[in-house]
Structure 1
Amino acid sequence: MSGDITHRKLNETYTFNTPPADAPIEVLNEFYWTKDLEPHVKRRKLILAKYPEVRKLTGYETKTKWYVMGVVALQVAVAYYLRNVHPFTFKFIALAYVIGATANQAIFLAIHELSHNLLFKKPIHNKLFAIFTNIPIGIPYSASFQPYHQLHHKFMGDENLDTDLPTKFEGIILSNLLGKVFFACCQIFFYALRPMFITQIRFTYIHLLNIIFQVFIDIILVKNFGWYSFFYFVMSSFLAGSLHPCAGHFIAEHYVLNENNKPRQSNDKDGNISPDLLPPETYSYYGSLNLVTWNVGYHNEHHDFPYIAWTKLPELRKIAAEFYDPLPQVNSWCGVIWWFIFNDINTLWNRVKRTGKEKHGHKIDNLDQNQN
């Protein structure tokens, strides 16, 4: 048992038997395929039925924008400070890792909040502010993130629409020690590039504006501060999605790890695991790193109520404690990265997937229309 993930039911603690690392290939090398619906809609209905006051928690958080502007200003200030420092020096790399990666992880997750329209009342204001928030990332990102992330929420586990899921190719190539080290070091590339190979979204004027504004800012930055300042932005973005404590949330949120693993019964893509063996597919973390990541660790709570802002998620958990206390919890994002890499049972196959055949088609168009 790793100590990183526990499954608690009130005052009772228990674990699951997991298949050994030398189990047959058809048991280990396949995703958790299920015909069951994702659990968040059902739990949301149950919570609202028992605690209707939870509805009052929904809505945008007005003070978030001031914090975001502070983080953007911090990154610009550090970029200016490093304008004459070579990128491959200890000072540059240390500041990019300690300050830059932490700040840019907060930037990524601020864009996540904006994708749910949780900073302003009007969706267009959230989209435009996300383009501003994108500045320290160095490359256009915010406009593409929103529609892909909405697909992740609406079609969680869908092999064609949820681009948060690793592909079969990734599972085959990267489910070994070196592959997992590479994946953990370069997570940012997988999250940025994978969606383009899985499903396509409509290119809108918001995407164009995001590109034009970011390129304009980058040109201004290079002309006034120099290339080293631009490299600081890019390096900060890379390190934010690499071996950084805050990057642990990428793996911790939905991978089925360690004692929460359960044996796959067959290699039947339409459902290789029975409902009683289906593992939880969303995990929460309640540690101190939530302070710099907009409470993204409250991930079960977020998926249950995606329109509750980060400041209200702890209150949601407090109100509906009996719904959340029994769920598996991640105790350490650093520990998650470690155990994901070095425990043989933890691989890229450890995700719950659905074929979602009945969901394909027109709903993507509806989603695009709702985002404009």
Structure 2
Amino acid sequence: MPSSLVTTTVQPCDQIQPRQSVANPDSNAFFWSYTEEPHRTRRQAIIKAHPEVVTKLCGPEPLTKYVVFAVFALQLMCALLLRKTSILSLQFLITAYSIGATANQNLFLSIHEISHNLAFKAPLANRLFAVFANLPIGIPYSAAFRPYHLTHHKSLGVDGLDTDLPTSFEAFFLDSVLGKAFFCTFQILFYAIRPMVVYQLPLTQIHLFNIAAQVTFDYLIVQYAGASSLAYLIMSSFLAGSLHPCAGHFIAEHYVFEKPNKVAKNPSNLIPVPETFSYYGPLNLLTYNVGLHNEHHDFPAIPWTRLPVLHEIAKEFYADLPHHKSWTWVIWHFIWDREVGMWCRVKRKDGGRKVGGWKVDELGANEREGAISGVN
């Protein structure tokens, strides 16, 4: 099956041979790494080569709030227009898939941006705005997402901390074409439930506010528009994390499809197995440039509008890294290629730490995103 990556030297996932820092004793095992995650190393190299990156590119993006307002209004309008439409009608389903799922994926990723304090300078303003962006999604999750996501950055691949990693239970039972198809269809549920299984967050003020605001919004939608309007919003969220082109980013970002070029021009790119993959296609326009994922992990404090600038400034660091050409092809490749699957993730046993705002009254100096890492 053709590759979904642009790269020079390629090998299927289960043919990647162990090297000094990565071990994969059999095909039904994750790749275990015993080195530091690659983004910190590359970040330091880029700062040394291009010190202007941090000073010019890091910091909030004012445009984010206007995009959120526009998508919020779009979803509210669609929900109201469909208030008397059967949820099983073709009109309802097509609208939910084509417009609703795309819009709610955009809102998912706006919350991703906001979690790095990239909408406003004040941390509390970002927390509250994330709750607002959450409303058309129909289910409260923004308050819980932030600490889990920042821990994913600070603890990339660390077993028991990085909740983006599939568990061994998932990998064992879903290691088949049907299993992977099931995972791709319902992956939004896996990302919702898995973090709570790995470790639970304490229930804090911001979580309670998130829940209260969402329940109030949902009640008002049902009260003044009807159950079909709320069903549209929730179905949009489900489809956004299902077999939808934009949902391909969930798999594309960290599942190992192929090896990078062994002879990279830049020494910082000589890593045994790539842990992060970028995508430079047109769907980035709808998803806050989340496809520039190596760039994002290297500098989480750089907002979506400036990630392409980072890529151009430090292009010598990214040119040799394999990247995806299509998120739709990623989903297809992941499901049908028996050599790529749930086991194809890099894990490490040590390092990392839990990160995130746990109480509203703790927001401030201790919870500010670092100018470089964005995950203090």
TM-score by length of 2: 0.88
**For residue 297 of structure 1, what is the aligned residue in structure 2?**
291
Match status 1:225 vs 2:225: yes
How much does 1:27 deviate? 1.4
Q: 1:66-121, CA deviations, whole angstroms, 9 ceiling, x for partnerless residues? A: 11100000000000000000111111000000000000000000000000000000
RMSD over aligned Cα, in angstroms?
A: 2.1
Match status 1:338 vs 2:341: no
**For residue 285 of structure 1, what is the aligned residue in structure 2?**
279
Q: 1:14 aligns with which of 9, 13, 20?
A: 9
Cα distance in 2 between the residues matched to 1:74 and 1:235: 15
Q: Which runs of 4+ in 1 moved over 6 A?
A: none
Match status 1:329 vs 2:323: yes
Supply the AA of the counterpart residue of 1:306. Answer: P
Q: How many residues align?
A: 347
How much does 1:364 deviate? 3.3
Match runs of 1:182-201 below 5 Å: 182-201=182-201
Match runs of 1:213-252 below 5 Å: 213-252=213-252
**For residue 307 of structure 1, what is the aligned residue in structure 2?**
301
Q: Is the 8 A contact 1:87 1:93 kept in 2?
A: yes
TM-score by length of 1: 0.89
Cα distance in 2 between the residues matched to 1:364 and 1:35: 19
How much does 1:16 deviate? 2.9
Q: Is the 8 A contact 1:147 1:371 kept in 2?
A: no
**For residue 86 of structure 1, what is the aligned residue in structure 2?**
86
**For residue 265 of structure 2, what is the aligned residue in structure 1?**
none
Match runs of 1:99-248 below 5 Å: 99-248=99-248
Cα distance in 2 between the residues matched to 1:280 and 1:50: 22
Q: Is the 8 A contact 1:174 1:183 kept in 2?
A: yes
Match status 1:43 vs 2:33: no
Distance verdict in 2 for CA 1:367–1:306, change over 3 Å: same
How much does 1:371 deviate? 4.3
Q: Is the 8 A contact 1:34 1:353 kept in 2?
A: yes
Q: 1:257-316, CA deviations, whole angstroms, 9 ceiling, x for partnerless residues? A: 1x4399xxxxxxxxxxxx988310100000000000000000000000000000000000
Q: Is the 8 A contact 1:245 1:334 kept in 2?
A: yes
Supply the AA of the counterpart residue of 1:28. Answer: S
How much does 1:212 deviate? 0.3
Q: 1:137-190, CA deviations, whole angstroms, 9 ceiling, x for partnerless residues? A: 101010000000000000000111100000000010001011000000001001
Distance verdict in 2 for CA 1:131–1:29, change over 3 Å: same
How much does 1:2 deviate? 1.9
Residue aligned with 1:33, SS: strand
- Unaligned 5+ segments in structure 1 are 8-12, 263-274
Cα distance in 2 between the residues matched to 1:90 and 1:320: 47
How much does 1:202 deviate? 2.3
Supply the AA of the counterpart residue of 1:225. Answer: A
Distance verdict in 2 for CA 1:320–1:89, change over 3 Å: same
Q: 2:346 aligns with which of 341, 352, 356?
A: 352
Supply the AA of the counterpart residue of 2:34. Answer: K
Cα distance in 1 between the residues matched to 2:121 and 2:345: 35
Cα distance in 1 between the residues matched to 2:178 and 2:114: 35
Cα distance in 2 between the residues matched to 1:365 and 1:313: 23
Q: Is the 8 A contact 1:97 1:239 kept in 2?
A: yes
Match status 1:96 vs 2:96: yes
- Unaligned 5+ segments in structure 2 are 16-23, 262-268, 369-376
Residue aligned with 1:364, SS: coil
Distance verdict in 2 for CA 1:366–1:241, change over 3 Å: closer
**For residue 318 of structure 1, what is the aligned residue in structure 2?**
312
Residue aligned with 2:354, SS: helix
Q: Is the 8 A contact 1:252 1:333 kept in 2?
A: yes
Residue aligned with 1:27, SS: coil
Residue aligned with 1:260, SS: coil
Supply the AA of the counterpart residue of 2:305. Answer: T
Supply the AA of the counterpart residue of 1:47. Answer: I
**For residue 10 of structure 1, what is the aligned residue in structure 2?**
none
